[in-house]
Structure 1
Amino acid sequence: MKKIYLITVFFLGIISSQAQELKWHTNVKEAIAIGNKEKKPLLMFFTGSDWCGWCIRLQKEVLKTPEFEKWASENVILVELDYPRRTPQTPEIKQQNNELQQAFSIQGFPTICFANGTNKDGKVNFEGLGTTGYVAGGPAAWLEVANGILKKK
């Protein structure tokens, strides 16, 4: 009986670990704190999630693939900065996202910025590492660009 219990617990653990999705933060200050603790840069995804065709395509072809999930969990802290047309957002998130769009001079979507962040005395500062967007060729091509940006740091 004990063996059956242990085997059941083992397989449930495997299933639940495979079902876990990546954590996309929406609060940049929280993401900075985690990034500094884990010594990982931020991957900030500027997106129009419910209207931008290239953003949706990037999600489908790269950001929701097992290859990206493995890479991201090892290398970056994920931050989604969304500019939806139909999905409601809190005023705080809208303000934060608009300020970051201006700070990073984001002109179009999707844009992904890699940066290290600091939050001292309530003031957020960033050290930009590089930017990218949609890259044709699936996760391998996109990860090659991302790794090139992160190797420069």
Structure 2
Amino acid sequence: MKKSLIALCLLTYAVGFSQDWTTSFAAAKRKAAAENKTIFLLFSGPDWCDTCTRLDELVFSSETFKAVASKKWVLLRADFAEKKGMPEPFDVNDEKVILAEKYNRDGFFPFVVLLDKTGKKLGKTGYENLPTADEYVAQYVSMGR
């Protein structure tokens, strides 16, 4: 019983503090309009991009980011998996490919674009060698003013 209670508490804590990333641009725009928030669009390659992993660990997992994100942003993620061997043709109708064509034509990873609730670009940034999560969050906040 005691182990079950501890497991339940840990699960509740993890769910309560997890981030609510979406992969649907339409859903992100609806939520941003309903909640009067900015869209935080992240282009990432989590299984092959070392700087993407570092940014996840340094910034996106931080309590500072989570607190600001919950108040200011709708989190939208466009993850691009590594393709082994001969690359297959990509689906031009895949939503992340459409987002990359519009907002990340140069193919930078990681890459953040802040958008208003209609999808208009407010600011963008790549990986910066800033030492703290607070500095990253301040940079993102200043882009979305």
Structure 1 length-normalised TM: 0.75
2:75 paired residue among 69, 78, 88: 78
Tell me by how many angstroms 1:117 deviates: 3.6
Letter in 2 for 1:74: K
- Preserved contact between residue 110 and residue 134 of structure 1 (Cα < 8 Å): yes
Letter in 1 for 2:109: F
1:3 aligned residue: none
**How does 1:38-117 map onto structure 2 within 5 Å?**
38-85=35-82, 95-107=94-106, 108-117=108-117
Distance 2:143 2:71 in 1: 15
Tell me by how many angstroms 1:92 deviates: 7.7
1:32 aligned residue: 29
Identity %: 23
For structure 2, the residue ranges without an aligned partner over 5 or more in a row are 1-7, 84-89
Distance 1:92 1:116 in 2: 26
Tell me by how many angstroms 1:60 deviates: 0.6
**Deviation digits for residues 27-76 of structure 1, max 9, x if unmatched?**
11111111110000100000111101111110011001111111100110
**How does 1:6-17 map onto structure 2 within 5 Å?**
none
- SS state at 2:46 partner: coil
Distance 1:111 1:33 in 2: 22
For structure 1, the residue ranges without an aligned partner over 5 or more in a row are 1-12, 119-125
Distance 1:76 1:131 in 2: 14
Matched, 1:147 2:141: yes
Distance 1:79 1:73 in 2: 13
Q: CA RMSD in A?
A: 2.6
2:13 aligned residue: 18
Letter in 2 for 1:143: V
Distance 1:55 1:93 in 2: 24
1:122 aligned residue: none
2:3 aligned residue: none
Report the structure number with the largest CA radius of gyration. 1
Letter in 2 for 1:18: Y
**Deviation digits for residues 1-40 of structure 1, max 9, x if unmatched?**
xxxxxxxxxxxx9866632201100111111111110000
- SS state at 2:81 partner: coil
**How does 1:110-125 map onto structure 2 within 5 Å?**
110-118=110-118
Tell me by how many angstroms 1:148 deviates: 1.1
Number of positions where the alignment pairs a residue of Structure 1 with one of Structure 2:
132
2:121 aligned residue: 128
With over 3 angstroms needed to count, the CA separation of the structure-2 counterparts of 1:62 and 1:110, relative to structure 1, is: same
